[in-house]
Chains A and B, each alone.
Chain A
Amino acid sequence: MNTIKRCLQNKKFVFSLIILLPMIFIALFGSSIAPHDPLEMHTTNTLAAASVQFPMGTDEYGRCIFSRLLYGIRPSLTVSLVGTLGAFLIGSFCGLVAGYIGGKAGNAIMRTVETILCFPAILLAMMVVCLFGAGVRNLTIVVVILYIPHFARIANSSTIKVKKMEYVENDISVGQTTPKILIGTIFRNIFSPLIIQISLTISSAILLESGLSFLGLGVQPPEPSWGQMIGDAKAYLSVNMMYMLWPALFLCLTILAVNLMGDALRDIFDPKLQDSF
Chain B
Amino acid sequence: MSEDLLKVCHVNKTFPIKGGMFSKSNGVVHAVDDVSFTIHKGETFGLVGESGCGKSTLSRTILQLIPADSGEVIFEGKDLRKLSKNDLRKERRYMRMIFQKPFDSLNPRQTVRDIIGTPIRIHEKCSAEEREKQILQLMERVGLPSAYIDRYPHEFSGGQRQRIGIARALAMRPKLIVCDEPVSALDVSIQAQILSLLKALQREDKLTYLFISHNLSVVNHMSDRIAVMYLGSIMETAEATELYHNPLHPYTQALLSAIPDPSVPDKPNRIILQGDIPSPVNVPQGCRFCTRCWKATERCSKERPPFYHLKDGHAVACFLYEKEGDVQ
Contact = CB atoms under 8 A, between A and B. Distances in A.
A and B touch in the complex (CB under 8 A): yes
Interface of A: 165-167, 169-176, 185, 188-189
Nearest to A188: B109
A221 B221 CA distance: 82
Interface string B87-102: 0111011011101110
Contacts of B325: none
B217 interface: no
B126 interface: no
B89 A169 contact: no
B60 A169 contact: yes
B118 A176 contact: yes
Nearest to B122: A175
A46 to B, nearest CB: 59
Interface of B: 60, 63, 65, 88-90, 92-93, 95-97, 99-101, 104-109, 118-119, 122-123, 168
A169 to B, nearest CB: 6
B118 A189 contact: no
Contact of B168 (A165, A169, A170, A176): A170
Nearest to B106: A167
B182 to A, nearest CB: 12
A202 to B, nearest CB: 24
Nearest to B119: A174
Nearest to B99: A166
B65 A165 contact: no
Contact of B118 (A165, A166, A171): A171
Contact of A189 (B60, B63, B109, B119): B109
6 contacts: A165-B105, A167-B106, A169-B97, A173-B96, A175-B89, A175-B90
Contacts, number: 50
Given A174-B92, A175-B123, A189 B108 contact: yes
Nearest to A2: B152
Contacts of B118: 171, 174, 176
Nearest to A191: B109
A176 B108 CA distance: 17
A176 B122 contact: yes
A-B residue pairs, 3 tightest by C-beta: A175-B92, A166-B105, A175-B89
Contacts of B109: 188-189
Nearest to B66: A169
Contacts of A175: 88-90, 92-93, 119, 122-123
Of A171, A172, A174, chain B has the most CB atoms within 10 Å of the CB of A174
Given A173-B63, A175-B90, A189-B109, 20 more contacts: A165-B104, A165-B105, A166-B105, A167-B104, A167-B105, A167-B106, A169-B60, A169-B65, A170-B99, A171-B107, A173-B65, A173-B92, A173-B95, A174-B118, A174-B119, A175-B89, A175-B92, A175-B93, A175-B122, A185-B107
B1 to A, nearest CB: 29
A171 B123 CA distance: 12
Contact of B96 (A165, A174, A188): A174
Contacts of A176: 118, 122
A28 to B, nearest CB: 33
A189 B107 CA distance: 8
Nearest to A176: B122
Nearest to B101: A166
B228 to A, nearest CB: 25
Contacts of A172: 65
A170 B105 contact: yes
A175 B99 CA distance: 16
A210 to B, nearest CB: 37
Contacts of B96: 173-174
